[in-house]
Structure 1
Amino acid sequence: MLAFLLLLSASATKLQAQAVKHTFTLSDNAFLLDGKPFQIISGEMHYTRIPRGAWRQRMRMAKAMGLNTIGTYVFWNANEPQKGHYDFTGNNDIAEFVKIAREEGLWVILRPSPYVCAEWEFGGYPYWLEKEEGLQVRSTESKYLEAYHKYIMQIGKQLAPLQINHGGNILMVQIENEYGSYGADKKYLALNQKMFIEAGFDGQLYTCDPEDAIKNGHLPGLLPAINGVDDVARVKRLINENHDGKGPYYIAEWYPAWFDWWGEKHHTVPAEQYLTRLDKVLAAGISINMYMFHGGTTRGFMNGANYNDKEAYAPQVSSYDYDAPLDEAGNATDKFMKFRAVIEKYLPAGVALPEVPSAKPSMDIPAIHFTQTFGLFDQLPVVRLHTNPQTFEDLNQAYGFVLYRTTVAGGKTGTLKIDGLRDYGIIYINGKRTGILDRRLKQDSMQVTLPNGKVRIDILVENLGRINFGPYLLKNKKGITGKVLFDNTAVKNWYSYGLPLTNLNLHGKGIETGAGKPVIKKGGFDIKKPADTYLDLSNWGKGTVWINGHNLGRYWNIGPQQTIYVPAEWLKTGANDIEILELIKTEQNTISGLKTPVLNKLNPQ
């Protein structure tokens, strides 16, 4: 009975604590929490990039470094993957993410799109916006505003009740995202504000932009925040100039490192380059959000890509380690410990940081041998014939692969050209791999010899990630977006097979590897106790890995990433399943797990 009464008392205390309402307002120089100056020391981490079972552990690490707040985007394409179909379950349960932060004593700064950038597919926009004829993202165009309005109303239902002025822990909400780097339409920004308020976001709203874009991206009347500047005098000047000579002062994105893309070196920056800068910012009372505090992993096919007129298409890797204070697995790094020491100097009187949790256990996994091999081309859906190749969007398909197939008369040699290849095409002649075209390398054509008789041409095209930044946001259709030409004559009559690989559902008998055709290999392994591991794919070619049905992301031996992180939360004591789609080195048949990642090894292309 005593135990029951103690439990009842504890529960009542917890409920009472959660019911306490706070206020969050702005003075000319500071944020005010319950009327007292409050310095936001925040770190960005994204619910979609961390296994749900690890959310709480990551938040406790944030507390241990001295953070009092976490920032997160809300990803439209995760929460409305198909038009009108919303998903706030599992890893997409953003409301639960915010509630767990409250339970762990953390405030939240919410960044609910519509556009996020974030090295995320299409900058967070759902692929189906590309299907709407005439739709213009980040504009006052009616189709866009209609879709955006429906979406933000759903987000409001999930999150508006969790704002601080409603008894929750969301301090501020950001409208749009670095809009000044894209446009200067104040009417569009004002519509954002209006829709946010209609959705229930009636607390503190703000905008954020880099220095050269703050005038275009700021909406008068809202707090302007600055990205990528940490010189105290410049921060204050930029915000004062755009906020009637007043603060408070908030660096919405402070970059302790950077992200990676395929075929380029791994980015790291020593902590020492940031310590003095962090110290000066905190000493000046400026609030800050580290982007990223913890990057996590961009799993599935959700990585974005960069592209502009001067630089080639550059898709990002699956690891979002970011050289952040917390590594991909959620462990403290050298940067974490050194940032913690700086932050500790500025804690309120009487406040002590919790002990830093020890690193999570990791394990080696001996060689796993695959026992079944399935041909990807044996898993094709039923389709219709079209005169021209169908894009992903034509097929109502967001991500993955599309196989294009046609038959032509042979007995000739010529140039096969793919107009508008997006993004990676493997060409097969009569079932045998003949060549590869890679958008990153600006390849769109090759010489081929067609044998005598009827010849089957297959082109397997992978969406390597839609552009997430810049003026090409609306030129993001995938697959073969133009025509296929042989010696300048359009090749007609194509079957376009969608292969989203959202659920493998492998069928048919296993096959022997041959002719370089893509395969899906299936196997299993036993473990005594789940722990983190890193699958070593350095001897494989290119593809995707699933563990126990979870898509862990892409691998590609060009690097710099050579391993894929497997979180303990997605492993089971005893038997575990693994599948690998391999496109290039189809003869490989074993894989092992390492205790540490390999993120910095490039291979000649």
Structure 2
Amino acid sequence: MKLIKLLFLFVTLFASAQLQAQLAKHSFALGDTAFLLDGKPLQIISGEMHYTRVPREAWRQRMKMAKAMGLNTIGTYVFWNVHEPQKGHFDFTGNNDIAAFVKTAQEQGLWVILRPSPYVCAEWEFGGYPYWLEKEKGLIVRSTEASYLKEYELYIKEVGKQLAPLQVNHGGNILMVQIENEYGSYASDKDYLAINRKMFIDAGFDGQLYTCDPEAAIKDGHLPGLLPAINGVDNVDKVKKLIKDNHNGKGPYFIAEWYPAWFDWWGTKHHTVPAENYVARLDSVLSAGLSINMYMFHGGTTRGFMNGANYNDKDPYEPQISSYDYDAPLDEAGNATDKYQKFRQVIKKHLPEGQTLPEVPAAKSAMAIADIKLNRSAGLFDMLPQARVNKTPLTFEDLNQAYGFVLYRTSISGKKDAVLKIKGLRDFGVVFINGKRAGTLDRRLKQDSLLVSLPKGSARLDILVENMGRINFGPYLLKNKKGITEMVMLDGRELNNWKMYGLPFNKVADLPQQAVINDPAVPVIKQGTFILDSVADTYLDMRKWGKGIVWINGHNLGRYWKVGPQQSLYVPGEWLKKGANKITVFELLDGKQKSISTVKSPILDELNGSDVSK
């Protein structure tokens, strides 16, 4: 009994000592050539991983994988639009609990580099900005305009309440905090950057602040007095020169975004880059003592409606897919790839003396389950909410709706063929005459007109519009309104007197048990229940479907679209349960399917052409 008591006392004291060590205040400073933690050089080997793209239940597993690859730090953005989805309403709960994410990293022995920015880019809706900023009259993002700065300040102070106490100089594990994000690629207003710095300090971020920019933009995006980190360059001499030239001839040297792969968008080939292309580069960077943050170490999934899009004058609108696999070292489900193993061997060579890596945790189990029957269905036109009426079409922003879909309805007349033109369609429209589909219009393909056949007398015109993701990069951040943003014309005549039905799909209700609809051309909601004896990761095989969204047990898994390249949706085992599980599908184009198949691995590289919507 005495031995047991002594053992218990020893374990308690050890745990207490470990906790005190974690909570001890540290000094973190910039040396001339290296970062200094408590006065000793620290080489940051970081990997980007976003809390919003990983189920909270899986954060710890992903961090264990980071440690096993040799990372000592996690980098993450902070996303304004998830934390203030509506003006003045803040959310730091559940998967949005960024403080819990940071604390979990500390428990796993990982430092954190924090990027509240507040603009993040990140292939994320509106670059992280909340949609309602578009509603504020005169507001100009990334500027010194007063209404923007007011909202920015309110937001960053809320972030400070959550995270400032977790800085390393307060006993936490946040080493550095980034202000703005690649600002030099957007503008060059140093006064604006100085206001950023002051706002961060006023919000409690009194540790090390830094900026990051690509090579061509570092002079415009850097604020004197802060460390200028570099993105997208891994030539050692060039990195050192760029940072020295903008930092009084000194380091330390930090590659804030090192890209071992890339992201995907709808209708284009899946991007992959062999690990061999980057092994020698990683080795040279670490050999030179440079610090690095891999973007991405683990991408995860951009679930719900949170994907962004690219657009400029030369290229078409390019909305990103839901999978953010990124061909990263850790795949979408959190398993080690060949790239992970090869990078691990490089990092292993550069560990401090006496340090070893933990064994790589076993791969997560995956399963294919029996086809899921969808025995309940309901047509969208039979489930519409109360309408908003207006002479002209209202945008999503006018309707106080952030994401999802809006159905626009009016009456037209005349037995003839006519050209329907939608000016300012943002972004994908399905057109119906008297409930029958007449065609689709796709912003990606610069489609805005459709020849329709009108029956004799009055007819009902419906246009179902999907927000496919606001632009997240470049000069069009302020041209991001969604829906029908201008007007609808029939043979050159403007159509008025509209009813708008908002369909944000923030959550989905259960359909009646007896609900069944069999018209495959009508947008339809389908539901089913499936029973599991055990749980593991799986992937929904959506190759037989058209375009839509899937929910499992209330979790929005993201978009699917037959154009590809993504043809599957990742279902985390953490969101499944033994016993009954619920699935809901909202299908826009092809409602004939009565079941969904699953597979054990993702399908991310199958294209079906750029336009298979008809």
Contact 1:433–1:515 (Cα < 8 Å) also in 2? no
1:510 is aligned to 515
2:272 is aligned to 268
Counterpart CA distance in 2 for 1:323 and 1:19 is: 35
Counterpart CA distance in 2 for 1:383 and 1:11 is: 59
Superposition deviation, residue 384 in structure 1: 3.1
5+ unaligned residues in a row in structure 1: which ranges? Answer: none
Q: Deviations over 1:455-497 (max 9, x none)?
A: 0000000000000000000000000000000111100000011
1:541 is aligned to 546
Q: Is residue 21 of structure 2 the alignment partner of residue 17 of structure 1?
A: yes
1:148 is aligned to 152
Contact 1:374–1:506 (Cα < 8 Å) also in 2? no
**Structure 2 counterparts to residues 454-465 of structure 1, below 5 A:** 454-465=458-469
2:438 is aligned to 434
Contact 2:564–2:604 (Cα < 8 Å) also in 1? yes
Q: Is residue 531 of structure 2 the alignment partner of residue 523 of structure 1?
A: no
1:419 is aligned to 423
Counterpart CA distance in 2 for 1:507 and 1:483 is: 35
5+ unaligned residues in a row in structure 2: which ranges? Answer: none
Counterpart CA distance in 2 for 1:288 and 1:577 is: 42
Counterpart CA distance in 2 for 1:206 and 1:323 is: 28
SS of the aligned residue for 1:426 comes to: strand
1:88 is aligned to 92
Q: Which amino acid aligns with 1:511?
A: V
Q: Is residue 173 of structure 2 the alignment partner of residue 169 of structure 1?
A: yes
SS of the aligned residue for 1:60 comes to: helix
Superposition deviation, residue 507 in structure 1: 5.4
**Structure 2 counterparts to residues 240-251 of structure 1, below 5 A:** 240-251=244-255
> What's the Cα RMSD here?
1.1
Counterpart CA distance in 2 for 1:75 and 1:481 is: 26
Contact 1:117–1:124 (Cα < 8 Å) also in 2? yes
**Structure 2 counterparts to residues 14-53 of structure 1, below 5 A:** 14-53=18-57
Q: Is residue 487 of structure 2 the alignment partner of residue 467 of structure 1?
A: no
SS of the aligned residue for 1:105 comes to: coil
Counterpart CA distance in 2 for 1:507 and 1:496 is: 23
Contact 1:123–1:468 (Cα < 8 Å) also in 2? yes
Superposition deviation, residue 19 in structure 1: 2.7
Counterpart CA distance in 2 for 1:465 and 1:365 is: 32
Q: Which amino acid aligns with 2:33?
A: N
Q: Which amino acid aligns with 2:97?
A: D
Counterpart CA distance in 1 for 2:105 and 2:324 is: 21
SS of the aligned residue for 1:481 comes to: strand
2:384 is aligned to 380
Contact 1:431–1:515 (Cα < 8 Å) also in 2? no
Q: Is residue 288 of structure 2 the alignment partner of residue 284 of structure 1?
A: yes
Q: Deviations over 1:303-353 (max 9, x none)?
A: 000000000000000000000000000000000000000000100000000
Q: Which amino acid aligns with 1:146?
A: K
Q: Which amino acid aligns with 2:477?
A: L
**Structure 2 counterparts to residues 217-256 of structure 1, below 5 A:** 217-256=221-260
Percent identity of equivalent pairs: 70
Q: Deviations over 1:248-270 (max 9, x none)?
A: 00000000000000000000000
Q: Which amino acid aligns with 1:305?
A: A
341 and 4 in structure 1: CA distance in 2 versus 1, 3 angstrom threshold: closer
SS of the aligned residue for 2:366 comes to: coil
1:553 is aligned to 558
Superposition deviation, residue 14 in structure 1: 3.4
Q: Which amino acid aligns with 1:279?
A: D
Q: Deviations over 1:161-185 (max 9, x none)?
A: 0000111000000000000000000
Q: Deviations over 1:85-141 (max 9, x none)?
A: 000000000000000000000000000021000000000000000000110000000
Q: Is residue 609 of structure 2 the alignment partner of residue 590 of structure 1?
A: no
Q: Name whichever of 450-459 and 10-19 sits farther off.
A: 10-19
Counterpart CA distance in 2 for 1:585 and 1:436 is: 13
Q: Deviations over 1:67-102 (max 9, x none)?
A: 000100000001110100000000000000000000
Which of 316, 326, 329 is 1:325 aligned to?
Answer: 329
Q: Which amino acid aligns with 1:410?
A: G
Q: Scaled by the length of structure 2, what TM-score is found?
A: 0.97
Counterpart CA distance in 2 for 1:501 and 1:240 is: 50
Q: Is residue 212 of structure 2 the alignment partner of residue 208 of structure 1?
A: yes
**Structure 2 counterparts to residues 93-112 of structure 1, below 5 A:** 93-112=97-116
Q: Scaled by the length of structure 1, what TM-score is found?
A: 0.99
Q: Which amino acid aligns with 1:214?
A: I
Q: Which amino acid aligns with 1:436?
A: T
Counterpart CA distance in 2 for 1:13 and 1:233 is: 42
Q: Which amino acid aligns with 2:427?
A: D
Counterpart CA distance in 1 for 2:389 and 2:540 is: 40
Q: Is residue 374 of structure 2 the alignment partner of residue 370 of structure 1?
A: yes
1:492 is aligned to 496
Counterpart CA distance in 2 for 1:13 and 1:263 is: 54
**Structure 2 counterparts to residues 374-413 of structure 1, below 5 A:** 374-413=378-417
Counterpart CA distance in 1 for 2:550 and 2:566 is: 14
Q: Which amino acid aligns with 2:542?
A: L
Contact 1:424–1:436 (Cα < 8 Å) also in 2? yes
Contact 1:363–1:531 (Cα < 8 Å) also in 2? yes
Superposition deviation, residue 365 in structure 1: 1.0
Counterpart CA distance in 2 for 1:162 and 1:51 is: 22
Q: Which amino acid aligns with 2:576?
A: L
Counterpart CA distance in 2 for 1:98 and 1:514 is: 49
Q: Which amino acid aligns with 1:601?
A: E
Counterpart CA distance in 1 for 2:8 and 2:188 is: 61
Counterpart CA distance in 2 for 1:157 and 1:335 is: 38
2:571 is aligned to 566
Counterpart CA distance in 2 for 1:18 and 1:253 is: 27
Q: Which amino acid aligns with 1:579?
A: T
Counterpart CA distance in 1 for 2:20 and 2:556 is: 41
Counterpart CA distance in 1 for 2:345 and 2:15 is: 35
Query: How many aligned positions are there?
Result: 605
Contact 2:520–2:592 (Cα < 8 Å) also in 1? no
SS of the aligned residue for 1:285 comes to: coil
Superposition deviation, residue 7 in structure 1: 5.4
Counterpart CA distance in 2 for 1:330 and 1:363 is: 15
Superposition deviation, residue 38 in structure 1: 0.7
Counterpart CA distance in 2 for 1:126 and 1:214 is: 27
SS of the aligned residue for 1:208 comes to: strand
Which of 177, 191, 194 is 2:195 aligned to?
Answer: 191
Which of 580, 584, 603 is 1:579 aligned to?
Answer: 584
Counterpart CA distance in 2 for 1:230 and 1:550 is: 39
Superposition deviation, residue 10 in structure 1: 4.2
Q: Which amino acid aligns with 2:250?
A: K
Q: Which amino acid aligns with 1:541?
A: G
Superposition deviation, residue 391 in structure 1: 0.5
Contact 1:414–1:449 (Cα < 8 Å) also in 2? yes
Superposition deviation, residue 401 in structure 1: 0.1
